[in-house]
């Protein structure tokens, strides 16, 4: 190790400079020096550490291996291997980093699915959701959007609480009941059932009860939801794919039933 004057040269950095450059604490740099992992090749006349460019390069390699989970003893062995040059070390680190990135990407996808599942409250795997609702059911997309729009409402909290206790069989029953109700509505629409009629009132009530499965739904709230069936093309398509015009008919049926129960305008209360 070479002793130099206290004035820092262009090719040597103090321990403080290296700490700022790499984000490693001075205490850690002292420890790496003590165990022989990264030993500064120079000292000032009073013993202060000075790091040459090669020292900093070794430190960066050590930090990369450390980030990948290697213990300090193994890192020292890897860096001191006489059969491996700098390019070999960089290639090893590059390969390991790519492997870790791939693993982390898989973890990100898994965590995002778990987050969306928690938002919706549906305790089903992706395969189970596809089995019950179909492979084109955008459950995660709807859950994220609904959470953003209504996440602070009592209805949302009720929906999550009720969903969290349901089994796969419960969801299958709800899906079957929903399909049956959709068929009933389409048949009534095609046969000319008029909004405000007793039969239409029964369908409106069945529709409201289907919502009550998830949260308490008043007639006013049901009216608001039915308005979305014609304002949001995704809902409109769901109903009109079964029978063109069904979404508007359902809104008219729900509105007429709400008025019959004393509601003068739709609202979320």
The pLDDT tens digits for 200-210 are: 999 999 999 99
pTM equals: 0.50
Mean pLDDT of 7-20: 78
53-67 helix and 72-79 helix, angle to the nearest 10 degrees: 130
108 domain residue, yes or no: no
129 domain residue, yes or no: no
Rg of the chain in Å (alpha carbons)? 33
C-beta separation of 12 from 18 below 8 A: no
Domain limit, last residue, from 44, 67, 83: 83
98 domain residue, yes or no: no
The pLDDT tens digits for 240-250 are: 999 999 999 99
Confidence of residue 165 (pLDDT cuts 50, 70, 90): confident
110 domain residue, yes or no: no
Strand order in the sheet with 49-52: 2-4, 42-44, 49-52, 12-14
Domain of 220: which CATH number? 1.10.490.50
90 domain residue, yes or no: no
Domain limit, last residue, from 83, 108, 137: 83
The pLDDT tens digits for 91-135 are: 877 888 888 788 777 777 656 665 555 555 555 555 555 554 554
Domain of 29: which CATH number? 1.10.1660.10
CA distance 182 to 189: 11
Tell me which residue range forms the domain holding 58: 2-83
C-beta separation of 258 from 208 below 8 A: no
101 domain residue, yes or no: no
Query: What local confidence, expressed as pLDDT, does residue 244 receive?
Result: 95
Q: How far is CA 8 from the centre of its chain?
A: 49
* Domains in the chain, number: 2
Domain limit, last residue, from 83, 106, 129: 83
C-beta separation of 74 from 96 below 8 A: no
C-beta separation of 240 from 229 below 8 A: no
65 domain residue, yes or no: yes
CA distance 266 to 158: 21
7 domain residue, yes or no: yes
């Amino acid at each position: 190790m070479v002793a130099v004057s206290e004035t820092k040269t262009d090719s040597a950095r103090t321990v403080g400079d290296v700490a700022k450059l790499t984000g490693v604490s001075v205490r850690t740099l002292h420890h790496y020096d003590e165990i022989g992992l990264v030993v500064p090749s120079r000292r000032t006349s009073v013993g202060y550490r000075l790091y040459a460019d090669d020292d900093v390069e070794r430190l960066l390699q050590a930090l990369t291996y450390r980030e990948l989970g290697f213990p300090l003893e193994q890192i020292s062995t890897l860096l001191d291997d006489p059969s491996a040059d700098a390019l070999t070390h960089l290639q090893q680190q590059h390969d390991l980093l790519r492997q870790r990135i791939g693993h982390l990407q898989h973890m990100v996808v898994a965590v995002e699915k778990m987050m969306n599942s928690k938002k919706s409250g549906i305790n089903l795997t992706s395969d189970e959701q596809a089995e019950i609702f179909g492979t084109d059911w955008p459950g995660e997309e709807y859950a994220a959007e609904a959470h953003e729009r209504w996440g602070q409402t009592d209805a949302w909290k009720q929906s999550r609480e009720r969903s969290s206790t349901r089994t796969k069989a419960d969801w299958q029953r709800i899906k079957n009941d929903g399909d049956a109700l959709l068929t009933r509505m389409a048949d009534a629409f095609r046969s000319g059932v008029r909004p405000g009629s007793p039969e239409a009132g029964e369908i409106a009530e069945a529709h409201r009860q289907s919502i009550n499965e998830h949260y308490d739904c008043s007639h006013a709230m049901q009216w608001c939801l039915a308005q979305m069936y014609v304002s949001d093309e995704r809902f409109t398509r769901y109903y009109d794919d079964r029978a063109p015009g069904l979404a508007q008919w359902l809104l008219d049926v729900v509105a007429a039933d709400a008025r019959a129960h004393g509601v003068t305008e739709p609202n979320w209360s």
